[in-house]
Amino acid sequence: MLNLTKIAVDAMGGDGSPKKIIDGIIHNHKSNTQNFFIIFGNKNEIEPYITNKIAKEFYKIIHTENMVKSTDSPLEAAKRGKDTSMWLAINSVKNKEADIVISAGNTGALLVISKLNLKMIENIDKPALSALWPNKKGMSVVLDLGANIECNSKNLVDFSIMGASLYKSLYPNNTPKIALLNIGSEELKGNEIIKETFQILNEKKFKNFDFSGYIEGNQLMDGNVNVIISDGFTGNVALKTAEGTANFITDELKMIFKGSILGKISAILNYSNLNKFRKRLDPRLYNGAIFIGLDSPVVKSHGGTDFIGFSNSIDVCSKIVKGNLINKIRENIQ
């Protein structure tokens, strides 16, 4: 256990919990035996799903019958008490009993309870919500995706350093290339905060990333940059637009290929390519938003994902811990 990554799991958050959560742990354990799971939730509900599926030296269950509900406001979730599965899981990383925490539960509650329990990394004013997006050449880290509606230039510079550190933790052999999401590629475009951030990033040479200027919304998937910076309002709109577009494309293709005899024949003839395309757009592959800026990493799995998606977010947890994310941020934020 000494060499294992200790992952605190809120087993009661998200749709279909705790079964989905435990199935995700079991699925992940089949390909990665380097994790130890500290599982928080109702022991009576959890044990039937995990008993004899994983050896007991790879997990332990911390029993609690209290949980944060999906309908709770962040304030209601905090008032629900310190014995909820979410609060206890977050508190375990605060007490250094776990290396990282993951939950598929209420996003607003997770952010608020995390901020109540965990300290900010020194010199960072605001934490950010980041996630992985596919591009033509691999993957991009995008932040902020909704934690901060309003940001100043220092916040956006901090996000750049944190985003680059996250990317380097996940992809240690690649160089982070930063761009600011804007309404144009020219230096004069954008509001004063964006232009001020551009000037800081352009003039000061940061050791942990290359600055590539501005990027527009229609260039997000090109892959010429791999870390994209935005305030939380703009980033969240971009995220929801990208998700909606991906769903629209896949739904339209399904209708085309199922709507006529010719479509069905085309689907059969192009099955291999269509399957590759479907997998490329599968949101489960990119599950796992990361709340960074706090002195312990917090991962948010999508509440509606299945056990495969939750398993993939556990992979993100492993990479973050092994990639020494928090230390990378501390070193570079100076």
Domain that holds residue 87: 1-124+293-334
- What pLDDT does 283 receive? 66
pLDDT band at residue 332 under the 50/70/90 scheme: confident
Report the distance separating Cα 110 and Cα 130, nearest Å.
Answer: 14
Segment 156-207, tens digit of pLDDT: 999 999 999 999 999 999 999 999 999 988 777 888 999 999 999 998 888 8
| 13 plus 98 within the same structural domain | yes
Least confident of 25-29, 78-82, 143-147, 204-208: 204-208
| 68 plus 201 within the same structural domain | no
| 117 plus 10 within the same structural domain | yes
Chain centre distance of CA 168: 15
Q: Is residue 288 part of a domain?
A: no
pLDDT band at residue 242 under the 50/70/90 scheme: confident
**pLDDT of 280 over the 70 cut:** no
In degrees rounded to 5, what are phi and psi of residue 183?
-90, 0
- What pLDDT does 333 receive? 81
Number of domains in the chain: 2
- What pLDDT does 279 receive? 65
| 112 plus 4 within the same structural domain | yes
DSSP E strand stretches across 120-163: 128-135, 138-143
Prior bond of 127 cis (ω within 30°) = no
Report the distance separating Cα 153 and Cα 168, nearest Å.
Answer: 23
Q: In the beta sheet, which residues pair with residue 214?
A: 180
Segment 12-33, tens digit of pLDDT: 998 999 999 999 999 999 999 9
Q: Reduced to 3 states, what is the DSSP secondary structure of residue 176?
A: coil
Amino acid at the residue 244 = G
User: How far is the first Cα of the chain from the last one, in angstroms, to the nearest whole number?
Assistant: 33
Share of the chain above pLDDT 90, in %: 60
| Domain harbouring 145, CATH code | 3.40.718.10
Amino acid at the residue 250 = T
CA 79 to each of CA 9, 84, 109, 302, 321: distance values in angstroms, whole numbers, following the listed order: 21, 10, 10, 23, 30
Report the distance separating Cα 23 and Cα 271, nearest Å.
Answer: 29
Contact 104, 14 (CB under 8 A): yes
In this prediction, residues 103-107 reach a mean pLDDT of 92
**Residue 4: Cβ-neighbour burial (10 angstroms; 0-12, 13-18, 19+):** middle
**pLDDT of 266 over the 70 cut:** no
| 178 plus 265 within the same structural domain | yes
298 membership: H or E segment, kind and range: strand 298-300
Report the distance separating Cα 5 and Cα 86, nearest Å.
Answer: 19
Q: Which residue has the tokens 């997000």?
A: 220
Mean pLDDT for the chain overall? 88
